[in-house]
Amino acid sequence: MAPIEVKKIVCIGAGYVGGPTCAVVALKCPHIQVTIVDVNQSRIDAWNDPDFNLPIYEPGLVDVVKGCRGRNLFFSTEVDKGIAEADLIFVSVNTPTKKSGLGAGFAADLNYIELATRRIAEVSTSSKIVVEKSTVPCRTAESMRTILEANAKPGCRFDILSNPEFLAEGTAIEDLFAPDRVLIGSLQSQEGLDACAALANVYANWIPKERILTVGLWSSELSKLAANAMLAQRISSVNMLSAICEATGANVDEVAYAVGKDSRVGPKFLKASVGFGGSCFQKYSLNLVYLARSLNLEEVARYWYAVVEANDYQKNRFAKKVVDTLFNTITGKKIAVLGFAFKADTGDTRESPAIDLINHFLSERARVTVYDPEVQESQIMLDLTDYGAKPAEPIQKAVTVCPSALEACKGADAIVVVTEWKEFVNLDWQSIHDTMNKPAFIFDGRNILKRQELKNIGFKVVSIGTGDRL
């Protein structure tokens, strides 16, 4: 019989999902001991940092950790001890996209999940509820179950749940405090349903019951991929309309506004931009493509692949527009890139459109200055180096990371806004204009700037999805 009242939770993996999620569980459930374990000593040290310089940045996260670390929230590298003591185990390890072998570039690498699962089987001496929290393709829970059952010690029972995380970076803590929904998938056997109820009871400490959805194991797993792919598809759809707007003189913000007024469509997530980034949309869309392919559903695979292709097209189109507008050459010109994170209110740069754009500019031999309020210089340099492009000169020479937007824009030929940080809207644009080469161009990759004010100052403003001529 699985333990129905959860008293001790361990979370394997102290990354973007496991860290914030389990910290919030600890804060909201003072009667449950929560231990987050990770093999990475420096990551655990950062979570335990006396000055709360945590390894990830999320608004509100520091306060959550301050509220319960040392009380009922612990961070440790003692993975085995954590597993052995726990009633419920969150498996929240990395599932990066495979770089080689079958499904390279599309399929998730399940190596870390398998290693964690085998470890659980090996060190467990009592029954556990094992919760798959990493986002994984359908039927991974099934593989986990097979591994656990084949290796279980006598008297140990493992019940597997799928509990995908839907939090958005930048609002992770907010999302965790008041999620739209919590999804728990289980086998429909009595034991499966009992395990499901045990986890639901944990969440019920702060989440209204009607928001805790319980479904079958496979539906739960597929829902996570589907939710991400459909959000990505929404952005790609509006971005593909932006290209038509630019060619015809329509305005994509107006089109999106009109379309979003239809209550069946809704107004959210209809903002045209330079393209989506982040660790989820592209990755899970491609996971879905792979899943469809492996099920011999070629047309389905092609449909979802087009969502990702459209995003690449949008990024390229924007970069090309910068070059075309600057009289077809940016060689030796100075381009100021404002924002490097993949979206505002996060320091996360994974798959950020800024990386593609800057590499495009470098390959055209421009000089690039970058300012982002949250991203460290070392991260920017690492992302640009990792990209694998071969700029004409060393990155350190071609790219300068600046401490302010004003600094980055000094003497620039063009400004490219890549991240929708609020502070960019109300910069001292007059002073910036004074320091720039003329004509001074601004490319607003997020359509956040006040176009008319900028035009009045003398800027040439290029936005996404407007047919305006300069």
Ligand X SMILES: *[C@@H]1O[C@H](CO)[C@@H](O)[C@H](O)[C@H]1NC(C)=O
Which residues belong to the active site?
280
Q: Both tokens of residue 251? A: 């305005």
Residue 282 counted as an annotated binding residue: yes
3-class DSSP assignment, residue 213:
strand
Q: Which residues of 235-244 are buried (b: 16+ CB within 10 A; e: fewer)?
A: bbbbbbbbbe
Give the CA count within 13 Å in the CB-facing half-sphere of 255.
21
Q: Which CB atom, from 91 or from 199, has the smaller least distance to ligand X?
A: 91
> Among candidates 76, 95, 94, which has minimal Cα distance to 34?
76
Q: Which CB atom, from 3 or from 55, has the smaller least distance to ligand X?
A: 55
Residue 277 counted as an annotated binding residue: yes
Q: Confirm if 164 and 17 have CB atoms less than 8 A apart.
A: no
Residue 112 sits in the site that holds ligand X (CB under 6 A): no
Q: Which CB atom, from 15 or from 185, has the smaller least distance to ligand X?
A: 15
Give residues 408-427 in contact with ligand X (rule: CB under 6 A): none
> Among candidates 162, 161, 76, 80, which has minimal Cα distance to 119?
80
Residue 256 counted as an annotated binding residue: no
> Among candidates 361, 358, 363, 396, which has minimal Cα distance to 377?
396
In the complex, least distance from residue 40 CB atom to ligand X, rounded to whole angstroms: 4
Residue 398 sits in the site that holds ligand X (CB under 6 A): no
Residue 281 counted as an annotated binding residue: yes
Q: How many angstroms separate the CA atoms of 117 and 148, rounded?
A: 7
In the complex, least distance from residue 242 CB atom to ligand X, rounded to whole angstroms: 36
Q: How many angstroms separate the CA atoms of 147 and 158, rounded?
A: 10
Residue 3 sits in the site that holds ligand X (CB under 6 A): no
Residue 396 counted as an annotated binding residue: no
| Residue in the block written with tokens 């800057």 | 358
Beta-bridged to residue 415, according to DSSP, are: 336, 442
Q: Both tokens of residue 13? A: 């993996």
- Supply the DSSP symbol for 466: B
In the complex, least distance from residue 84 CB atom to ligand X, rounded to whole angstroms: 24
Residue 400 counted as an annotated binding residue: no
Q: How many angstroms separate the CA atoms of 296 and 8, rounded?
A: 43
What H or E segment, with its residue span, contains residue 370?
A: strand 367-371
In the complex, least distance from residue 95 CB atom to ligand X, rounded to whole angstroms: 14
Q: Both tokens of residue 201? A: 């009871």
Give residues 12-71 in contact with ligand X (rule: CB under 6 A): 40, 42-43, 46, 55
Q: Which CB atom, from 55 or from 103, has the smaller least distance to ligand X?
A: 55
> Among candidates 49, 48, 55, 65, which has minimal Cα distance to 16?
55
Q: Which CB atom, from 15 or from 275, has the smaller least distance to ligand X?
A: 15
Q: Which amino acid is at 184?
A: I
In the complex, least distance from residue 75 CB atom to ligand X, rounded to whole angstroms: 12
Residue 431 sits in the site that holds ligand X (CB under 6 A): no
Residue 459 counted as an annotated binding residue: no
In the complex, least distance from residue 35 CB atom to ligand X, rounded to whole angstroms: 18
- Supply the DSSP symbol for 198: H
Residue 465 sits in the site that holds ligand X (CB under 6 A): no
Residue 165 counted as an annotated binding residue: yes
Q: x-or-dash pattern for ligand X, window 321-340, by CB under 6 A?
A: --------------------
Q: Which CB atom, from 41 or from 248, has the smaller least distance to ligand X?
A: 41
Q: Both tokens of residue 286? A: 């491609």
Write out the binding residues.
Answer: 13-18, 38, 43, 93-97, 134-135, 165-169, 224-228, 264, 271-277, 280-283, 342-343, 350, 446
Residues that bind ligand X (CB under 6 A): 40, 42-43, 46, 55
Write out the binding residues for NAD(+).
Answer: 13-18, 38, 43, 93-97, 134-135, 169, 280-283, 350
Write out the binding residues for substrate.
Answer: 165-169, 224-228, 264, 271-277, 342-343, 446
